[in-house]
C-alpha cells in the first residue's frame, strides 16, 4: 500500500518519529496517574468495598518477565536483554511515601480532591520467586529439578511441570485475591519504550484506581527503551508471545481466579493479539464457549493498538483471536499523533489505533454490529494529555470508562457511551462528564456503610443513563438487535480504506 505522504520517509523523518514515539509510548510515570473524571464532584468512593486491612498507601504488584536480570544478587534489577525463561515474582509499591501521605489523604487525591501535585510512586526491590518452567529450555529445567537430561528431552514438548516457584507464585496470587475478596487477576502489558519499572508503575496506578480489586500481574517483556529500537522492540514483542501464552495457561490451571483480564497498550496489543491467536489456533477444535471456560479470560482491552489495520482484520479477527475472551474492547482515536506519524513515516498503512468508523467498509460495519463480544470505542472528544497515545493513564474520561468496565463489567451503553447504529462504533457523547459522574454515583457506594448495605457487585446495576443493564456487549433496542446466528469475519471484506489520519 502506498505511503500516504506519497514519498519515502527520509532518515531524518524516521528519526523524528522515533523521538516522538519515545516521548509518548511509555504509558507510565513516576506519579500516580490522573484521577478518573467520574469521581470529580461526586460522593462516590472507589475504595468503599475494600477491606479495612487492605487500605494502605502501599500495594503489592506481581510480575512475570522474560527480561534478563542485570545483577546476580540483590538488589535485583531487570534489564532489556531477553531471558531464556519467564521469571515470576512480586514487588511492593508505595504511593506518596515521600509526602508521608496517610490513607485518607490518598483517597482524597484519588477522587481529584487532594491538594498539591499528584502523589509520587516508589518501588521496592523486586522479590523473585523463580522461573515458570513450562517456558524454560531443558538445561534450566534440569538445574531446577535435578532430573535426568535425556528424560527431559524426551518429555520436553508437553512441558507439563511449571515448577515449585510457579506454585509459590500461584499461592501468593490466591492469597492476594482472598485478601481483597475479589477473585480476578488483571494483567497489564506495556508498549514500546518501556522498562521494567515503567510497566510496574502503570500496573500500580491502574490497580489503585480499580479499587485495589483482585491481584495484578505486570507482564514486562524486553522492550529496550532506546530511541532507535522500535523495530527491535517489535521483534521482542513477537518473541514474548509464547511466554505470555504459557503464563495464561498456568494462571487458568493453577490459580483460583474466576476471570483473568488483560489490559494492553500500544505495541503490547500486538503481543497480546498474537498470544490470543495462538490459543485459538491450538484449540481450533473447540467452540468459543469451551475456550472461555478453559482459559477463563474475561475482558481483553487493547488501548491505542499499534497493529497494522489489515493484519488486525486478516490475521487476528479472521482467525478468531477475539473468541478466546468473554469481551474484547478496542480504544481508538484519530487524534493519536504517535500512531498517525507511524502510519505516515514508518509503515504507510493505517494503524488500528487510528481507525475510526470512517475507515470501515460496509462489510466490516455489519460484522462489528453482529458480534456483541467486540466493542470498538472512538475516544474523540476526550482529551488524552501529551500527544494523545496513552488513553488509559493520560485521559480521565477514557480511564473512567475502562475502570467501569474492569470493576463493574458494565456494557458500553451502561457506561454512558453512545452507539452508532449505522457503524457499530461506540462514541463518547458531549455530556459524557455528567453521565459518567451520575453512573459513578450509582455504582460506587458513598461510604463503607453504604457498601455493606448494597447488593453484591456481581448483580446487575443499571447505569444512570440506561433503562436496563447489560454486560459484555452493546445494549441494543429490538430494532437494532442483530441476528443471533454466529458471525464470522467476511472472507472478502476489503481492508480499511487508507486515509491520512
Among the residue ranges 49-58, 59-68, 276-285, 439-448, the one predicted with the least confidence is 439-448
Cα-based angle 245, 165, 220 (whole degrees, multiple of 5): 45
- Model pLDDT for residues 424-481, shown as the tens digit of each residue: 999 999 999 999 999 999 999 876 656 555 544 433 333 333 333 344 433 333 233 3
Q: pTM of the prediction?
A: 0.85
Residue ranges of the domains in the chain? 11-453
Q: Are strands 127-132 and 78-95 parallel, antiparallel or unpaired?
A: antiparallel
- Model pLDDT for residues 98-115, shown as the tens digit of each residue: 888 999 999 999 998 766
Strand partners, 64: 88, 219
What is the distance between the alpha carbons of residues 302 and 30, in angstroms, rounded to a whole number? 23
What is the distance between the alpha carbons of residues 242 and 230, in angstroms, rounded to a whole number? 20
Cα-based angle 263, 264, 269 (whole degrees, multiple of 5): 145
Q: What is the CATH number of domain 11-453?
A: 3.40.50.1820
Q: What percent of the chain has pLDDT over 70?
A: 79
Grid coordinates representing 30? Answer: 513516576
Query: In terms of Cα–Cα distance, which of 233, 223, 249, 238 is closest to 135?
Result: 249
What is the distance between the alpha carbons of residues 432 and 397, in angstroms, rounded to a whole number? 8
Residue in the block written with cell 487492605? 54
* Widest Cα–Cα separation across the chain: 66
Q: Residue 79 phi/psi, 5° resolution? A: -100, -150
Amino acid at each position: 500500500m502506498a505511503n500516504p505522504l506519497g514519498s519515502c520517509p527520509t532518515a531524518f523523518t524516521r528519526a523524528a518519529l522515533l523521538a516522538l514515539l519515545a516521548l509518548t509510548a511509555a504509558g507510565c510515570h513516576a506519579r500516580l496517574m490522573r484521577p478518573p473524571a467520574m469521581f470529580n464532584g461526586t460522593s462516590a468512593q472507589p475504595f468503599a468495598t475494600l477491606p479495612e486491612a487492605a487500605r494502605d498507601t502501599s500495594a503489592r504488584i506481581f510480575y512475570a518477565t522474560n527480561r534478563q536480570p542485570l545483577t546476580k544478587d540483590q538488589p535485583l534489577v531487570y534489564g532489556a536483554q531477553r531471558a531464556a525463561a519467564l521469571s515470576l515474582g512480586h514487588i511492593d509499591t508505595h504511593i506518596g511515601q515521600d509526602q508521608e501521605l496517610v490513607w485518607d489523604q490518598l483517597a482524597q487525591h484519588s477522587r481529584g480532591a487532594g491538594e498539591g501535585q499528584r502523589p509520587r510512586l516508589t518501588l521496592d526491590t523486586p522479590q523473585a520467586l523463580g522461573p515458570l518452567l513450562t517456558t524454560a529450555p531443558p538445561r534450566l529445567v534440569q538445574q531446577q529439578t535435578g532430573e535426568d537430561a535425556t528424560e527431559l528431552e524426551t518429555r520436553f514438548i508437553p512441558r507439563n511441570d511449571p515448577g515449585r516457584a510457579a506454585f509459590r507464585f500461584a499461592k501468593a496470587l490466591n492469597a492476594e485475591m482472598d485478601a481483597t475478596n475479589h477473585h480476578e487477576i488483571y494483567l497489564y502489558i506495556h508498549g514500546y519504550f518501556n522498562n521494567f519499572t515503567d510497566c510496574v508503575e502503570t500496573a500500580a496506578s491502574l490497580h489503585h484506581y480499580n479499587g485495589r480489586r483482585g491481584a495484578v500481574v505486570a507482564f514486562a517483556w524486553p522492550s529496550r527503551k532506546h530511541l532507535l529500537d522500535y523495530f527491535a522492540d517489535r521483534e521482542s514483542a513477537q518473541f514474548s508471545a509464547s511466554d505470555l501464552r504459557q503464563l495464561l495457561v498456568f494462571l487458568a490451571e493453577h490459580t483460583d481466579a474466576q476471570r483473568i483480564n488483560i489490559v494492553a497498550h500500544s505495541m503490547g496489543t500486538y503481543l497480546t493479539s498474537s498470544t490470543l491467536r495462538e490459543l485459538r489456533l491450538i484449540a481450533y477444535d473447540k467452540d468459543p464457549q469451551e475456550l472461555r471456560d478453559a482459559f477463563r479470560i474475561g475482558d481483553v482491552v487493547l488501548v491505542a493498538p499499534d497493529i497494522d489495520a489489515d493484519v488486525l482484520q486478516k490475521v487476528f479477527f479472521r482467525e478468531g483471536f477475539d473468541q478466546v475472551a468473554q469481551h474484547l474492547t478496542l480504544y481508538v482515536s484519530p487524534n493519536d499523533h504517535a500512531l498517525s506519524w507511524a502510519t505516515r513515516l514508518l509503515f504507510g498503512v493505517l494503524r488500528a489505533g487510528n481507525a475510526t468508523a470512517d475507515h470501515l467498509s460496509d462489510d466490516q460495519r455489519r460484522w462489528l454490529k453482529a458480534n456483541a463480544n467486540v466493542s470498538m470505542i472512538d475516544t474523540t472528544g476526550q482529551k488524552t494529555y501529551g500527544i494523545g497515545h496513552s488513553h488509559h493513564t493520560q485521559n480521565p474520561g477514557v480511564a473512567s470508562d475502562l475502570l467501569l468496565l474492569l470493576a463493574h463489567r458494565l456494557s458500553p451503553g451502561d457506561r454512558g457511551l453512545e452507539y452508532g447504529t449505522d457503524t457499530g462504533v461506540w462514541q463518547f457523547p458531549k455530556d459524557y462528564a455528567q453521565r459518567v459522574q451520575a453512573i459513578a454515583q450509582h455504582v460506587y457506594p458513598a461510604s463503607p456503610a453504604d457498601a455493606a448495605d448494597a447488593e453484591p457487585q456481581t448483580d446487575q446495576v443499571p447505569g444512570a443513563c440506561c433503562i436496563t443493564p447489560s454486560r459484555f456487549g452493546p445494549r441494543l433496542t429490538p430494532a437494532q438487535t442483530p441476528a443471533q446466528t454466529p458471525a464470522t469475519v467476511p472472507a472478502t471484506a476489503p481492508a480499511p480504506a487508507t486515509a491520512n489520519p
